[in-house]
Structure 1
Amino acid sequence: MRGIPHSRTRTLTAALALAVSGAVALSGCGKPQQKVGSAPPPKKPDAFEQRADQIVRDWPKISPVHGRQQALLPLVKAQPPKDGGKAREITVTVGHSPCDAHFGARSHESKGLVVVTGWGKRKSSKGMCTEMLATDKVTIRLKDALGDRKVVDAATGKQLLKG
């Protein structure tokens, strides 16, 4: 900046700095404040998802699960669907505790298998509960038609149906 007096250089620099900071300060005016954060951590697969992945990977060499887990209740049987391979629903019989407040069944689908399991949720840990087995039919809705896929019980590793 030759030829410009020293005091004028300071004024020009100060004006330029104010203009830039003013632009920055004004750029957010009138906009609601936004919170920025990282993505939530990936959901850890539960016991059934881990078991289903293992069955799909190792089929047909599957061993039963040891012990009884509320997320992996063995199925008593599965009914062949009326529509055969076109069916998008299968009905299974879940063996659960009479002390379960809620119970049901779920599935994991792959190209060649439909892995199914029963699940139960206890009413309360207080009080006594009999060791009797209650059974109920539950319908599982499939994402895709059963086709020629095999239906496998996640708890026992046994084939229940062949589509």
Structure 2
Amino acid sequence: MRGSHLSRTRTLTTVLVLALSGTAVLTGCGEKQQTVGSAPPPKKPDAFEQRADQIVRHWPKVSPVTGRQQAILPLADAERPKKTDAREITVTVGHSACDVRFGARSHESKDLVVITGWGKRKSSKGMCTEQLATDKVKVQLKTALGDRKVVDAATGKELFKN
């Protein structure tokens, strides 16, 4: 009797440990076992996504970001699309002359399109001059711009004021 109780305790402990770890072992009528894992944890929002969410929540009372972040670079300029059904905005990204890659990305909400520039340096080692380089980049929108406001994520300012 004691051995049977110990076996059930070990089985229950194993099931509890697997359940807590997000994994379960399933057995059916046969001898086959199948391991099923839980869904991976949701991806943590990056610096730009966090900033864009903050702007959308607190608009229009938004302060500029402090310091300079490679994921949230200020825009030097933006061209207002000629039509409200435009699904593309051209912005001028101000980035480091040492960036080997750069670009712009957007976050869209019902009322706002938040845009930022970004840069990627070749390595963190070595010297880099603090020169500013600017390049035009096209940002594709998921839906037409319509009457939404376009906001620079770094400065928190509206880009096309009437």
Which TM-score band applies after superposition, normalised by the shorter structure? 0.7 to 0.9
Q: Identity rate of aligned residues, in percent?
A: 78
1:101 shift after superposition = 1.2
Q: Which aligned runs of 4 or more in structure 1 are off by greater than 6 angstroms?
A: none
Q: TM-score, normalised by structure 1?
A: 0.78
Q: Does 1:45 align with 2:50?
A: no
Give the aligned partner of residue 58 of structure 1.
58
Partner of 1:77: 77
Structure 1: unaligned runs, 5 residues or longer: 1-22
Q: Which has the higher strand share?
A: 2
TM-score between both structures, scaled by the size of structure 2: 0.79
Larger Rg computed on CA atoms: 1
Tell me the number of residue pairs that the alignment of Structure 1 and Structure 2 aligns: 135
| Residue 119 (structure 2) pairs with residue 123 (structure 1) | no
Offset of 1:24 from its aligned partner? 2.5
Q: Alignment RMSD, CA only? A: 1.7
Encode CA deviations 1:96-155: one digit per residue, 9 max, x unaligned: 001111110000001111000001111112221110100000000000000011100000
Q: Distance in 2 between matches of 1:104 and 1:110?
A: 21
Tell me which amino acid in the other structure corresponds to 2:36: V
Corresponding residue for residue 14 of structure 1:
none
Alignment of 1:6-155 (within 5 A): 24-25=29-30, 28=32, 34-82=34-82, 84-155=83-154
Which position in structure 2 is the counterpart of 1:20?
none
Runs (5+) with no aligned partner, structure 2:
1-27
Amino acid at match of 1:66: T
Deviation at 1:36, TM superposition (A): 1.2
Contact 1:103/1:120, CA 8 A, preserved across alignment: yes
